[in-house]
Amino acid sequence: MMARKPFWETKSLHQMTVPEWESLCDGCGLCCLVRFEDEDTGEVIPTRVHCQLLDAHLCRCSDYPNRRKTVPDCIKLTPHNIEDLEWMPPSCAYRRLHEGKTLPQWHPLITGDPDSPHKAGVSVRDQTISEASLDDPEDAMDFVATDLMVDKGDWPYEPEDA
């Protein structure tokens, strides 16, 4: 019997069901960081400040279904806008698949372990502060973190029990 290929290898982003699409999120939390754009160069500058709704330990939105009520400028990622979101982390599954790359070895759909991105050191788990803790939104610039945008998509993953 021939093994079936996983959906992310056989379907385009546009062909995926909503559950398949949502399962691509690896839970790294990188897309929930506050960023600034340099007006002169267009460079996107990430910080170690996260959206007020991000659970900094779980690296998941604490109110995903209703997030736009609290954070009106939260961007809903879709197959139609991924190409325009150049600020998405290079290791992001949505971005990687859009660019014709494979899922990272540490991705939960590959490992079967929802904690694998944290174990691989590619998430922002417990490394950020909430924007709600800042006196002024511009204070986030005190926490610039360009190191967080390093492409971790090809980092190896060694399960602990291997």
Q: Is the pTM of this model over 0.75?
A: yes
Least reliable range by pLDDT among 39-53, 92-106, 146-160:
146-160
The domain locations on the chain are 16-149
Given a cut of 60, whether residue 161 has pLDDT beyond it is: no
Region class of 42: left (phi > 0), else alpha (psi between -120 and 50), else beta: left
In whole angstroms, give the CA distance from residue 24 to residue 27: 9
Given a cut of 60, whether residue 162 has pLDDT beyond it is: no
Q: For all residues of the chain together, what is the average pLDDT? A: 92
Instruction: Identify the residue whose tokens are 């790294």.
Output: 28
In whole angstroms, give the CA distance from residue 83 to residue 25: 16
**pLDDT tens digits, residue range 118-129?**
999 999 999 999
pLDDT attached to residue 1:
63
Region 9-18: what's the mean pLDDT? 96
Region 90-110: what's the mean pLDDT? 95
**pLDDT tens digits, residue range 35-75?**
998 889 988 899 999 999 999 999 999 999 999 999 999 99
